[in-house]
Amino acid sequence: MNSTSTADTLASAPTISKFGSGDTILKPSTSAVQPAYDGEDSMTLREGIRLYPKAITWSVLLSLTLIMEGFSTILVPNLFAMGPFRRQFGDLQLNGEYEISADWQSGFVNGGLAGQILGLFATGTLAERIGYRYTLMVGLATMSLFVFVPFFATSKIMLLVGQCLLGVPWGVFQCICTVYAADVCPAALRAFLTTYVNACWVLGQLIASIVLRGMIGDSTTWSYRIPFALQWVFPLPIVVAVFFAPESPWWLIRQNRFSDAKNALRRLRTQPKTQSDTTFDNKLNGAMEIMIQTNEKEQQMQSGTSYKDCFKGVDRRRTEITCMVWIAQTLCGGTFMGFSTYFYEQAGLSSSNAFTLSLGQFALGLFGVILSWVLMAYFGRRTLYLWGQALTFLFVALIGVLGCIPPNNSSTAAISPEIGWAIAALLLVFTLVYDATLGPICYSLVSEMPSTRLRSKTIVLARNCYNVSGIVTNVITPRMLNPTAWGWGAKAGFFWAGTSVLGIAWSWYRLPEPRGRSFAELDELFERRVPARKFSGTELGRGSDEGEGEGENR
């Protein structure tokens, strides 16, 4: 990159800036802007950890809301396998067992997704008006209030309303935490802290599985009320962390609160012992100037834009890629993981074994996310995504094959216990691969694919595409597994193998490789309409480096 020309461009801006005492200070010279720019651009992972431990800490603390969301979203689908829950909300079958119909299973899960769609759109407006911290606090407060509904629910309608209401703060958490991590951390840390979102999800699911496994011996309604009640434990410590966390300096700059933005930067960075106060302050001034100039440039670029511009010209392709990266997670059969405990039971395992396997499944998922951080250092995003899709296709296809094997003559179950355990093992490996590739890599891709001026709008559209596709899969999956509906059981693996092929074909032809590319270079590659498979090998001229600082520091 041509960093000198970028610094000179910034230094040639108006001579008065607005981020000192009283919101007015002389604009730093090139000597102040240049080190700030170069340091951000060339920073290694180790340097980022050493200089930004405070930013990492605040990002990790605010991401705890995703643990709460992961706990909440996995709760009801796995309660479908719990006897007292089915007796309360299910219907008595001819065989004397209680079962929740496929329609109601879909409704309970999709109610949360419908609430998330509303929450995502609301967050985009609310966060820009009152800031990320206050928006998160609103989400935590509303979730604490809405938990009362499912906790005291005695009917299916009441439980459905509770799921819809809880989905709204889930949408808030999904949006804010990833954006906050991207705003407060340098580029060297950004991919790791945005993929950490997936780790929080899986950790929440693991905690929920531990809780449900511990309640399996309780035959009263407290076996499912206690897990609901535990959702009141999370908000209080998290809201304390959010209250004391620094606001996003990017949001403060957009509000023309320059003194507050500089103070936030100071709270996010660590001053090296070998660096004087004056040098550190100059670096903050240089970073502020870069951010102000970037914000002013993006304001000009965003003038007159709207959601419909996401579907015009080159941005149509970028929107398609961002949306499909998230939709591919549902095409690969990931819905099996959400209904894992219920699926294990339908595969012939006991309730106790089903809950134990779900616990192990999410523990493997957490290990998979950690493994993805290692893999990202050696392989590109496209490579990991394609290999993840190929391997998950293989596993769901094998699950379908095993579902076709008839039980021995002495068994009255749909499949033999041995086959049930083999299916469970495949689903465990599926989870490990998914959470080492498709799950976390998605978050890196969706932050890199959109154009700068339409990034937030594109991500909202993409996440809601994922939620809509999730609604569809949550309608059909219970019907596949439920013995009172289609009753496919493990044979549902064939269906997901078919949809996986669609996802693999799309990724092969349409998913580009953004690794090692600045945002400015990605802009040029899309403008040139370079085919996805040639992104990594296409060389760009020096002209592509112009404006790289704005992209990398954004």
Other Cβ atoms less than 10 A from the Cβ of 530: the count is 15
**Domains of the chain, with CATH numbers?**
43-270 (1.20.1250.20), 304-536 (1.20.1250.20)
Residue whose token pair is 């990605």? 522
CA distances from 33 to 36, 166, 295, 462 (A): 5, 45, 16, 35
- The answer for 305, left when phi > 0, alpha when psi is -120 to 50, beta otherwise, is beta
Query: Among candidates 196, 168, 183, 167, which has minimal Cα distance to 133?
Result: 183
pLDDT value for 414: 58
Distance CA 194, CA 380 (A): 16
The pLDDT value given to residue 53: 87
Contact 127, 176 (CB under 8 A): yes
Going 436 to 442 to 447 to 449, the CA torsion angle's sign is: positive
Say if residues 516 and 377 touch (Cβ distance below 8 Å): no
Q: Which helix (H) or strand (E) holds 25?
A: strand 25-26
Q: Where in 407-541 does DSSP place strands (E)? A: none
* pLDDT at residue 409 in the model: 54
Give the chain's length.
554
Q: Tell how far CA 247 is from the center of its chain.
A: 21
pLDDT at 320: 93
| pLDDT at residue 389, rounded to an integer | 94
What CA–CA distance (Å, rounded) separates 76 from 110? 11
The encoded tokens of residue 459 equal: 């991500």
Q: What is the pLDDT of residue 416?
A: 66
| CA-to-CA dists, residue 346 to 162, 180, 439, 478, 515, angstroms | 27, 41, 25, 11, 42
CA 189 → CA 67, 152, 177, 183, 228, distances in Å? 20, 43, 15, 11, 35
Q: What does DSSP say about strands 25-26 and 16-17: parallel, antiparallel, or unpaired?
A: antiparallel
Q: What is the mean pLDDT of each run of 10 residues along the chain (554 residues)?
A: 40 42 42 47 72 87 85 81 84 77 81 87 81 90 92 90 91 82 76 80 82 82 89 89 89 85 87 78 80 69 63 86 91 74 67 74 85 86 92 90 70 62 83 89 83 72 86 79 70 88 93 77 82 81 41 35
Phi, psi (degrees; rounded to nearest 5) at 389? -65, -40
Tokens of 239: 């809201």
> Considering just the CA atoms, what is the radius of gyration of the chain in Å?
25
Alpha helix stretches (DSSP H) within 185-234: 187-214, 222-229
**pLDDT value for 27:** 43
The token duo for 291 is 């951010």
